[in-house]
């Protein structure tokens, strides 16, 4: 996950990891023919960009506006009774949607721009006002998204496909793929989206068969609840499937965020968040799916929607909170970080990154260490495949540090200054 600027994101095979060629059993010639991360697709164009519906004194939600902290006081009905500006509106054919159900739902309710072209302030405000995500985590996720797939100059981001002409300050020079871009914010082993290469680049379309698999795990493990135990088991299952079936499978340091995203199903999506029940009705609404015998897996997609009579969590969901959940899911089913060099030919990540060593999180890893790993993911050069490093240009790093250092300064993490 790294981002933009008026300069192109520097992702180059010239930055190849020298350690890869030295791995036992690795055929280095395979690395010279590594597939590209991005495949160009047509992107819907809505000429009527209006921005998110504004908040008002009557409907302030948590009071977050202009990218600043809200009150953090939740337990608020969303959308509020009478707030017609934030009622559900299905996405049109010219509206962009991507792989993140939470952002798609926010756009469908006009908490983000309905056309799918959003910006830093909208992202930070919507996360707080809709879900009562803590200001610290809201900023981190917005930074990671814009840094990786948007533009730090305009601070704009497509929540799905490549909309460079609308997000970039200098679209002829810069290139921003949006959240669909593979091995940045989006990664293999998604809950309900395909891996990029086996699906010919479609890593963003809802997959009803995968949703059915997730439901089956929730039924088997947790009696139908999409709770921590169920999501940990399903994340493990998706990893095993990708490792077995995807010749280009990569599970790098950035995929720690997938555990955090899985926690949203039981920490953010239930009514009242962690006090509520992550049941099928709630989760299917946020994923925009309904039972349909004629659809793949028996689940069709209509558009992500906040459930009726829904209230956000009372206490903010913070970076320390999500770090606890990332670690809890991981230790339930520990997996190696690394990737395939051919189908079911896995090679572990031996070079340390942050707390990752010998391809895994050590047994004594703490939630505080995971929180610092999240900081490193935003401020360090991170492998995005077995042979490519995403390089953070100086201007991107400067922007990122300016956003993240203030919220991480009291976390006990080593803080970069340049």
HEC string of 363-417? Answer: CCCCHHHHHHHHHHHHHCCEECCCCCEEECCHHHHHHHHHHHHHHHCCCCCCCCC
Q: How far apart are CA 71 and CA 229, in angstroms?
A: 31
Residues 119 and 137: their CA atoms lie apart, in Å, by: 16
CA distance 399 to 405: 10
Print pLDDT tens along the chain (418 aa). 333 222 222 222 222 333 333 444 444 343 333 443 444 458 999 988 999 999 999 999 999 999 999 999 999 999 999 999 999 999 999 999 999 999 999 999 999 999 999 999 999 999 999 999 999 999 999 999 999 999 999 999 999 999 999 999 988 777 899 999 998 888 999 999 999 999 999 999 999 999 999 999 999 999 999 999 999 999 999 999 999 999 999 999 999 999 999 999 999 999 999 999 999 999 999 999 999 999 999 999 999 999 999 999 999 999 999 999 999 999 999 999 999 999 889 998 877 788 998 899 999 999 999 999 999 999 998 887 877 787 888 999 999 999 999 999 999 999 998 8
At 390 the pLDDT is: 79
pLDDT at residue 384, as a whole number? 79
Q: What angle do CA 201, 253, 344 make, to 5 degrees?
A: 55
Q: Say how many residues make up the chain.
A: 418
Q: Could you state, in order of their start, the residue ranges of all structural domains in the chain?
A: 10-408
**What is the rounded distance in angstroms from the CA atom of residue 231 to the CA atom of residue 344?**
24
**Distances from the Cα of 32 to the Cαs of 19, 36, 201, in angstroms?**
15, 11, 20
The third-level CATH classification (topology) of the domain covering 10-408 is: Chloroperoxidase (1.10.489)
CA 278 vs CA 76, 281, 313: distances in Å: 18, 8, 13
Q: Which residue has the tokens 């280009």?
A: 248
Cα of first residue to Cα of last residue in the chain, in angstroms, is: 18
Gyration radius from the chain CA atoms: 20
Q: What is the pLDDT of residue 19?
A: 33
Q: Computed from CA positions of residues 13, 14, 19, 22, in that sequence, does the dihedral angle turn out positive or negative?
A: positive
* Centroid of chain to Cα 10: 21
Q: Does residue 319 sit in helix, strand or coil?
A: helix
| Encoded tokens for 279 | 């049941």
- What are φ and ψ of residue 128, in 5° steps? -70, -50
Q: Which residue has the tokens 């899985």?
A: 262
Give me the pLDDT at residue 375, please.
Answer: 97
The Cα 315–Cα 411 span in angstroms is: 19
Q: Find, among 151, 175, 143, the residue nearest to 377 by Cα.
A: 143
């Amino acid at each position: 996950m790294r981002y933009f600027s008026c300069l192109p994101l520097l992702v180059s095979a010239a930055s190849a990891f020298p350690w890869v060629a030295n791995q036992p059993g690795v055929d280095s010639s395979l690395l010279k023919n590594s597939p590209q991360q991005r495949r160009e697709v047509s992107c819907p164009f809505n000429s009527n960009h209006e921005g998110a519906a504004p908040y008002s004194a009557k409907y302030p939600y948590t009071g977050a506006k202009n990218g600043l902290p809200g009150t953090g006081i939740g337990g608020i009905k969303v959308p509020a009774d009478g707030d017609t500006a934030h009622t559900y509106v299905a996405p049109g054919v010219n509206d962009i949607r991507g792989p993140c159900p939470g952002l798609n739902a926010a756009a469908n309710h006009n908490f983000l721009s309905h056309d799918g072209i959003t910006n830093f302030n909208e992202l930070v405000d919507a996360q707080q006002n809709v879900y009562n995500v803590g200001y610290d985590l809201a900023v981190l996720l917005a930074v990671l998204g814009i840094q990786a797939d948007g533009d730090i100059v305009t601070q704009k981001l497509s929540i799905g496909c490549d909309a460079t002409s609308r997000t970039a300050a200098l679209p002829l020079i810069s290139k921003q793929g949006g959240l669909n871009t593979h091995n940045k914010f989006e990664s293999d082993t998604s809950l309900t989206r395909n891996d990029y290469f086996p699906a010919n680049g479609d890593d963003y379309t809802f997959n009803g068969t995968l949703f059915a698999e997730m439901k089956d795990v929730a039924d088997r493990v947790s009696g139908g609840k999409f709770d921590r135990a169920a999501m940990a088991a399903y994340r493990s299952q998706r990893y095993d499937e990708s490792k077995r079936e995807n010749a280009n499978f990569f599970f790098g340091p950035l995929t720690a965020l997938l555990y955090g995203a899985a926690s949203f199903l039981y920490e953010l999506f239930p009514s009242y968040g962690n006090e509520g029940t992550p049941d099928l009705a709630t989760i299917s609404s946020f994923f925009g799916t309904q039972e349909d015998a004629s659809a793949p897996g028996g689940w069709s997609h209509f558009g992500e929607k906040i459930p009726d009579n829904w209230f956000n969590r009372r206490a903010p969901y913070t970076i320390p909170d999500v770090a606890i959940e990332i670690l809890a899911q991981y230790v339930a089913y520990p997996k190696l970080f690394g990737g395939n060099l051919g189908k079911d030919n896995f090679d572990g990540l031996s070079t340390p990154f942050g707390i990752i060593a010998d391809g895994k999180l050590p047994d004594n890893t703490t939630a505080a260490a995971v929180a610092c790993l999240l900081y490193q993911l935003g401020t360090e050069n991170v492998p995005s495949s077995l042979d490519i490093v995403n390089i953070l240009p100086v201007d991107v790093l400067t922007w990122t540090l300016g956003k993240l250092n203030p919220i991480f300064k009291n976390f006990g993490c080593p803080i970069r200054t340049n």
